[in-house]
């Protein structure tokens, strides 16, 4: 179909339903003079003829598409259908009803004899148990907890002993995966409070998926065991052309809850084309009675099959198509994936389209509000990259939702009123555009999007609808077509050409409707991963990079080198291919100085940046304190396949930003550069006249060894880390301090940094002011502070570790 005709047909179809494509109301603060277009290697307003604009902002991650580590997507537990519960007293069934407002309770003070027992209905494999008292008295948690398991209900084995949690209302017991039918939790402590359990859940996390416990069989062919040998280059082969009735079957050794089956083969091998021309997936508890959970067609190289969470011991994949190729499988695997697509499938199955949307609305109405946009405006940022999941717009069957635009229209308008642009980022595509949950669907590489003509048509429809809706809207900075597109970890020329050809298809589809907005092309893993603009005749485009070095998160040197490499390489990219660059995602972890140098360097070259992300529920204990301007919300998560609708909504509504902790130092550092500041010039304070004392000193260390500028000397505690150890510096005179950097000796860089710290300043050595708290994070920890005067600096260790605390050098800066 002609692309322009296709757009016209789409517009007519949308108008015929509730999705009329209409001009949006003019934004109050951004107007036609603010419309951005590319001019050479920069963006300029006034449709490319005005002033240069470099976009400086963040991502609203976890809002219109969820990721389990960041937002309260929730988690999948074992399917509880048919479970029965008994207890030492009370109505045990209330611990399995999906309602946090009901409970099983002892109705008496805890005395160490209480128990709750659950029959799972069949021998199952699992590694975690949770009990909560979310909606009840703060003291109703178990003072001690013993978890026992049994295959027959008679002989019991203990798998966990510990204390209950009185802080986050959920007590979690994690243990080595076991196979059992019965679970018994015993309360072993004493308290005046009752023991209450709102909900009891059991989980088979990734640790439970041990392929050595699986066996595989097939209807025919040779080399059947090779499907489980961990080597995608070896394979089972049907030995005949594909016809209906062929099958492969897994025995997991115990009942498990799963929502995914993946069939994979070797890259660039003849077997890439040996995917099933059609398939169904069936589950069974006994290998005789089967329930179908999925049906579809395979895709080249890898077939990723997702379905609502379901349970079974046996998994069968039936080949239902006809083809002139054999059916081959290099690796066969199953999983229970906590990803956005799995969430949407299960919600739709459990609650229907309207019920699922109500739950989604509860999250979206809580996660981002006008107050959050005020926070961003107060930082001085001028744009937001808006990650949009494809399921924001479409139902999982590809049909359009009744009201897909409300949240997008709202945020575009609200940001415009705050003089901020919105970049529309299609963050997930159907089937998954990369193998990670960040692309909405965990899977193989390439994931399902790249082999599906249907999915690719859906995405073209999405972009034609977006272009029709926002054509001419100056508050929209541009269109980010696909987030992190990746066909293989080592993409070859064929991969790059195929990806770029699809980008060209989207480019043409958008340009047929909207000739003016900037289009962002994902150069994921570098410019070698996409063709130059001239190859396809692209104009008014920018390229997008996501500079992460996650394997070296705790290495300041690696993160600093990442920044150096990109800043040094940027002039070459601006010369050739000569288009603007957006650094659309990054985190530089706990390194305030590296963040500052990074933003200053990009600003100096008039390019654009947006950190990942505005907020994350993770904590310092997870190493996530610098992934968001707001963090630290360890509230109970929804259990996707157990919680009732009301409980689901109640849990989601606990994640308003007001319940999070602001990362004051990250916010201050980003705000410093949000206005375009392009210099990073730290001024160190001379160590002349400094003296140091400490709570203790061990080994060959001395207090002065931490401030003498000699890497061969050091101070250390001489004992394992415990709270209260301190290191104090007298600068000899009052100085202005803006940053303190604490380094660990190279020989012990991986171990001897503080587990936690409290940084205090004093002018007289007696009255102290806390200016920073946090965790140690690798061998070098720069701590920025609000510039203030002090003569004395004290660093107190606040955590616990089996290693000494050692200091190689402390450096201070009056400005940066």
DSSP per residue, 576-603: TT---EEE-----TT-HHHHHHHHHHHH
Q: Which residues are registered as beta bridge partners of 158?
A: 148
Which residue shows structure tokens 């004992």? 719
Give yes or no for a contact between 308 and 293, defined as CB atoms under 8 angstroms apart.
yes
Neighbours of 207 (CB within 10 A): 15
pLDDT, residue 25, reads 44
Planar angle of CA 363, 63, 663, nearest 5 degrees? 105
Q: Give the integer Cα–Cα distance in Å for 393 and 383.
A: 22
Per the CB < 8 A criterion, the answer to whether 530 and 523 are in contact is yes
Ranges assigned E (strand) in 453-566? 476-480, 518-522, 541-545
CA 790 to chain centre: 40
- What pLDDT score does 787 carry? 97
| pLDDT value, residue 28 | 53
Q: Any idea of the CA torsion for 678, 684, 685, 690, to the nearest 10 degrees?
A: 150
> Can you say whether the dihedral through the CA atoms of 104, 107, 109, 114 is positive or negative?
negative
pLDDT at 366: 98
CA distance 721 to 810: 19
pLDDT for position 134: 77
Q: Name the one residue in this structure whose structure tokens are 């099958």.
A: 247
CA 634 – CA 45 distance, rounded (Å): 42
674-to-57, 415, 573, 668 alpha-carbon distances in Å: 7, 15, 23, 10
Which is nearest to 416 in space by CA: 474, 480, 479, 369? 474
Backbone φ and ψ of 328, nearest 5°: -130, 145
What is the Cα–Cα distance from 555 to 562, expressed in whole angstroms?
A: 11
CA distance linking residue 152 with residue 135, whole number of Å? 33
Let me know: does 814 contact 623? Beta carbons within 8 Å: no
Residues 554/591, Cβ–Cβ less than 8 Å? no
φ, ψ dihedrals at 659, nearest 5°: -90, 0
pTM equals: 0.95
Q: Are 615 and 630 in contact (CB under 8 A)?
A: yes
Where the chain has pLDDT below 50, the residues are: 1-27
Is it true that the peptide bond before 613 is cis, omega within 30 degrees of 0?
A: yes
pLDDT recorded at residue 168? 65
- Unique residue bearing structure tokens 């550069």: 673
Question: Is residue 446 reached through a cis peptide bond, with omega within 30 degrees of 0 on the bond before it?
Answer: yes
Residues 6 or more apart whose Cβ sits within 8 Å of residue 54: 42, 43, 602, 603, 606, 607, 608, 609, 676
Pair 415, 60: CB distance under 8 Å: no
């Amino acid at each position: 179909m002609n692309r322009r005709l296709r757009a016209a047909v789409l517009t007519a179809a949308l108008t015929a339903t509730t999705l009329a494509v209409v001009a949006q109301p003019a934004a109050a603060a951004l107007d036609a003079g603010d419309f951005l277009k590319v001019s050479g290697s920069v963006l300029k307003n006034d449709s490319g003829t005005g002033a240069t604009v470099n976009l400086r902002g963040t991502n609203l991650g976890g809002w219109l598409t969820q990721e389990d580590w960041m937002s309260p997507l929730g988690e999948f537990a074992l399917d509880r259908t048919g479970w029965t519960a008994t207890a030492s007293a009370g109505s045990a069934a209330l611990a399995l009803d999906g309602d946090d407002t009901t409970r099983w309770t002892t109705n008496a003070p805890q005395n160490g004899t209480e128990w709750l027992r659950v029959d799972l209905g069949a021998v199952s494999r699992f590694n975690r148990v949770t009990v909560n008292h979310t909606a009840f008295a703060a003291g109703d948690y178990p003072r001690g907890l013993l978890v026992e398991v049994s295959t027959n209900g008679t002989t019991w084995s203990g798998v966990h002993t510990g204390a209950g949690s009185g802080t986050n209302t959920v007590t979690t017991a994690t243990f080595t995966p076991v196979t059992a039918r019965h679970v018994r939790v015993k309360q072993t402590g004493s308290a005046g409070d009752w023991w209450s359990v709102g909900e009891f859940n059991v989980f088979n996390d990734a640790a439970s998926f041990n392929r050595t416990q699986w066996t595989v069989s097939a209807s025919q062919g040779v080399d059947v065991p090779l499907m489980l040998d961990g080597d995608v280059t070896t394979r089972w082969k049907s030995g005949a052309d594909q016809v209906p009735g062929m099958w492969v079957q897994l025995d997991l050794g115990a009942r498990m809850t799963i929502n995914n089956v993946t069939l994979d083969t070797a890259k660039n091998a003849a077997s890439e084309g040996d995917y099933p021309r059609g398939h169904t997936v069936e589950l069974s508890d006994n290998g005789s009675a089967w329930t179908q959970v999925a049906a579809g067609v395979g895709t080249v190289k890898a077939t990723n099959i997702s379905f609502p969470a379901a349970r079974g011991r046996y998994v069968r994949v039936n080949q239902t198509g006809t083809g002139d190729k054999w059916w081959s499988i290099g690796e066969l695997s199953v999983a229970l994936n906590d990803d956005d697509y799995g969430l949407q499938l299960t919600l739709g199955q459990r609650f229907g389209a309207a019920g699922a949307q109500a739950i989604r609305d509860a999250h979206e109405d809580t996660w981002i509000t006008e107050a959050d946009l005020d926070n961003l405006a107060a930082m001085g940022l001028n744009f937001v990259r808006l990650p949009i999941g494809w399921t924001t717009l479409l139902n999982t069957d590809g049909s359009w939702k009744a009201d897909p635009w409300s949240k997008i229209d709202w945020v575009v308008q609200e940001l415009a009123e705050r003089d901020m642009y919105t970049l529309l980022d299609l963050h997930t595509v159907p089937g998954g555009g990369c193998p990670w949950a960040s692309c909405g669907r965990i899977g193989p590489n390439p994931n399902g999007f790249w082999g599906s003509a249907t999915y690719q048509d859906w995405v073209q429809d999405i972009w034609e609808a977006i272009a029709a809706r926002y054509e001419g809207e100056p508050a929209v900075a541009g269109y980010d077509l696909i987030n992190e597109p990746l066909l293989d970890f080592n993409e070859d020329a064929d991969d790059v050409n195929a990806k770029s050809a699809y980008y060209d298809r989207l480019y043409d589809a958008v340009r047929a409707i909207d000739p003016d907005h900037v289009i962002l092309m994902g150069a994921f893993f570098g410019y070698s991963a996409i063709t130059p603009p001239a190859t396809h005749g692209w104009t008014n485009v920018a390229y997008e990079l996501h500079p992460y070095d996650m394997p070296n998160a705790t290495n300041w040197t690696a993160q600093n080198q990442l920044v150096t490499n990109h800043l040094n390489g940027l002039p070459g990219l601006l010369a050739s291919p000569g288009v603007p660059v957006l650094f659309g995602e990054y985190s530089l972890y706990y390194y305030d100085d590296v963040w500052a140098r990074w933003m200053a360097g990009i600003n100096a070259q008039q390019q654009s940046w947006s950190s990942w992300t505005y907020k994350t529920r993770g904590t310092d204990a997870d190493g996530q304190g610098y992934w968001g301007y707001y963090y630290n919300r360890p509230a109970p998560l929804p259990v996707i396949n157990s919680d009732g609708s009301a409980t689901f909504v109640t849990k989601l509504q606990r994640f308003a930003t007001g319940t999070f902790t602001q990362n004051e130092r990250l916010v201050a550092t980003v705000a410093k550069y949000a206005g375009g500041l392009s210099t990073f010039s730290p001024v160190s304070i001379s160590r002349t006249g400094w003296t140091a004392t400490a709570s203790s000193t061990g080994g060959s260390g001395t207090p002065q060894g931490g401030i003498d500028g000699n890497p061969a000397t050091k101070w250390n505690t001489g004992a394992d880390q415990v709270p209260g150890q301190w290191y104090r510096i007298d600068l000899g005179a009052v100085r202005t301090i803006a940053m303190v950097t604490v380094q660990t000796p190279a020989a012990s860089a991986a171990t001897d940094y503080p587990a936690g710290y409290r940084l205090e300043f004093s002018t007289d050595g007696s009255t102290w002011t806390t200016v920073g708290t946090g965790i140690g994070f690798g061998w070098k920890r720069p701590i920025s502070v609000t510039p203030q005067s002090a003569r004395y600096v004290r660093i107190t260790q606040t955590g616990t570790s089996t290693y000494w605390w050692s200091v190689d050098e402390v450096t201070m800066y009056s400005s940066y």
